[in-house]
Amino acid sequence: MDILCVCGHGIGTSVLLKVNVESVASDLDMDVNVTTADIGAAKGTADASDLVMTSPQLAPQLDGVTTPIETVNNFMDTDEIKAILEKYDD
């Protein structure tokens, strides 16, 4: 599945999240393609992904995006990320 990690500038927070999502997906044996974007670009590209992951502060700015959006409180908590990915693991 295609996962889009979104943060303010698409360079810091979202890259850390991408690294951890890839690591957790690998543990779960899930086949994922993780990309990153800043909040502005994400509005245009999110619909092409299967899942959007971002922080609770930024999620409201993705109003109108039809792809499911999951928020992450602790980007360093692999258990929190795992719980999200498991919902989409089929």
Partner 1 sequence: MANNDATSDIDGFLPDSSFLLDVPAKDWKDAIRLAGKGLVASGFTTDAYTDEMIATVEKMGPYIVIAPGMALAHSRPSDAVLHTGLSWVRLSTPVEFGSKANDPVGLVIGLAGHDENEHIKVMSAVAGALSKPEKVKELATAATADEIREILNR
Contacting positions for partner 1 (CB under 8 A): 7-17, 19-20, 23, 36, 38-39, 55-58, 73-78
Closer CB to partner 1, 73 or 90, in the complex: 73
Helical H runs in the chain? 13-27, 39-45, 78-88
Cα 57 to chain center, whole Å? 14
83 vs 90, which CB is nearer to partner 1?
83
Q: Do residues 18 and 5 make contact, with C-beta atoms less than 8 angstroms apart?
A: yes
Q: Which is nearer to partner 1, 77 or 89 (CB)?
A: 77
